[in-house]
Amino acid sequence: MTLAEKKQELIEELTIIEDPQERFAYIIDLARTLEPLPQEYQIETFLIKGCMSQLWLVPTFKDGRCHFRVDSDAVITKGVARLLTDLYSDCTPEEILENEPTFLAELGIDQHLSPNRRNGLSNVWKTIRAYAELCLKNQEENARP
């Protein structure tokens, strides 16, 4: 599934839920079904700065695609971060860099977050984007003769 298709599916899933409180309940359920990160990944290296809660993002790159795992000690933070990591996982660096997560604002998700959570969410996106840029740069360097 392409990133555009994943994004459209996610938008359709979330727009069915009209009430913002029910939408957050759905996001919290997403967080609760996410497998926790092993303790060895819950370290400073993977910690997202600017968030009141503990939020870890672990990126990997395999077969030309980026993959992301996330965990947090706060379910709302974990759920919203999961929306982003699920969307961008298994995508090429180019796809990630061409598609900012504007759908969160379009769906009104970010307007119901506290300033600290919005800041943390912004930093999740910055980390995903920076990792995609690094992977793209490494691919280009490895492609040189």
Catalytic residues: 51
Residue 59 forms beta bridges with which residues?
Answer: 68
φ/ψ (deg, to 5) at 121: -65, -40
Count CB neighbours of 132 within 10 A.
Answer: 23
* String of DSSP letters for 84-132: HHHHHTTB-HHHHHH---THHHHTTTGGGS-HHHHHHHHHHHHHHHHHH
Q: Are 14 and 26 in contact (CB under 8 A)?
A: yes
Count CB neighbours of 41 within 10 A.
Answer: 14
